[in-house]
Amino acid sequence: MKVNLKDIKEQVIVITGASSGIGLATALMAARRGARLVLNSRDEQDLQTALGRVQSEGGQATHMVGDVADMDAMQRLAQSAVAEFGRIDTWVNNAGVSTYGRIEEVTLVDARRLFETNYWGVVNGSLAALPHLRAKGGALINIGSILSSTGYPLQGHYTASKHAVKGFTDSLRLEVEESGVPVSVTLIQPAAIDTPYPEHAGNYLGVEPKHIPPVYAPEVVADAILHCAAHPVRDVLVGGSGKLFSATEKYAPRLFDRMKEATGISGQYSDVPALDDDTLHAPRPNDGRVHGGYRGHVMQSSLYTKARLNRGKTLLGLAVIGAGMVLASRGRGGNGGRG
């Protein structure tokens, strides 16, 4: 069945993990485009701040505090959205957290908590959203990672959780499409993004972890999310480095292993002392920022992602350029014949 999605300005969008990072960036961008929003997070204080920022952008919004690991909380979130705005058009499962440390050092308590958020949070949100999306059509968007298809040192449990998110999303898409309901199921796989993600993570390194470049602005992911909310897309790698990761993993996996072993461990250690707390098990108030503290260059756009999301325009542009080159070549040939 063909899936027809509304323009963003006509949509009701639910976003989990909306009090900071990619979730907050998406909420602010959607508000500026006229969407009505339902914001979710564990952190009541920062969620209230996020709500105020969204409203200051002219957005109509409500919020509900709740942990994505709690299925009852996700069902209440869905019911709240319908009660407030009458329907759900797009549901974004964005909430996530990481741990930095060797797998043998990370406690199973921390690993299980990570999976409760990253994997079961996506499952709970998806199952809460689907009955409402099935009713009138819409988009379910799950946030994975470029690590969804490869291994990575010092973030082993995070990487495993994002593999699980990809497997769940791809399998759910098959079942939804086979059932013929007008719902698109999308997996977004961001590269390294400048959000508070490293400082929110559980940390066994002894110093603050850091991203390995290239690093992209969270608005690049937000723009991709909102594109997929309005246009059915199967999956999107955000950032050209994501495409490079994917291609190298596929065609030269052992070489890629060597590269990650050589740079992936030392490159994630900063020279900044570790913070005393994290947000793995509980929120940290007054921490609702879109951007992180990455000290290197942050890329504000991704030509690869723009081309991926606008294939028709990209192909048309290439065709026009190609036709122009042919005509120019013929013109030069004709002038030479007359000269």
Quick check: 147 pLDDT over 70?
yes
Q: Please, what is the average pLDDT of the chain?
A: 92
CB 112 within 8 A of CB 164: no
Quick check: 225 pLDDT over 80?
yes
In this prediction, residues 111-133 reach a mean pLDDT of 98
- Domain assignment present for 49: yes
- Domain assignment present for 215: yes
Which listed residue (100, 119, 152, 158) is catalytic?
Answer: 158
Question: Given pLDDT bands bounded at 50, 70 and 90, which one contains residue 323?
Answer: very low
CB 89 within 8 A of CB 139: yes
Name which of 101-115, 176-190, 205-219, 237-251 the model is least confident about.
237-251
- Domain assignment present for 327: no
Q: What is the DSSP letter of 195?
A: S
What is the extent of the structural domain holding 123? 8-301
- Domain assignment present for 307: no
Q: Assign residue 282 the CATH number of its domain.
A: 3.40.50.720
- Domain assignment present for 189: yes
**Taking the model in full, what pTM does it have?**
0.91
The beta strand positions in 210-308, using DSSP E, are: 215-216, 235-238, 269-273, 298-299
Give the DSSP per-residue string, 28-74: HHHHHTT-EEEEEES-HHHHHHHHHHHHHTT-EEEEEE--TT-HHHH
Quick check: 314 pLDDT over 50?
no
Under the phi-then-psi rule, with left for phi > 0, alpha for psi from -120 to 50, and beta for the rest, what region is 99? beta
- Domain assignment present for 338: no
Quick check: 161 pLDDT over 70?
yes
Give the DSSP per-residue string, 65-107: E--TT-HHHHHHHHHHHHHHHS--SEEEE-----EEB-TTTS-
Question: Given pLDDT bands bounded at 50, 70 and 90, which one contains residue 313?
Answer: low
In this prediction, residues 239-248 reach a mean pLDDT of 90
Question: Given pLDDT bands bounded at 50, 70 and 90, which one contains residue 276?
Answer: confident
Quick check: 307 pLDDT over 90?
yes
Catalytic site includes residue 152: no
- Domain assignment present for 46: yes
Question: Given pLDDT bands bounded at 50, 70 and 90, which one contains residue 315?
Answer: very low
Closest by Cα among 219, 287, 231 to 8: 231
Question: What gap in Å lies between CA 329 and CA 337, rounded to an integer?
Answer: 13
- Domain assignment present for 328: no
Q: What phi and psi values does residue 137 have, to the nearest 5 degrees?
A: 85, 155
Distance of CA 103 to CAs 86, 157, 307, 309, Å? 45, 7, 37, 36
Overall domain count for the chain: 1
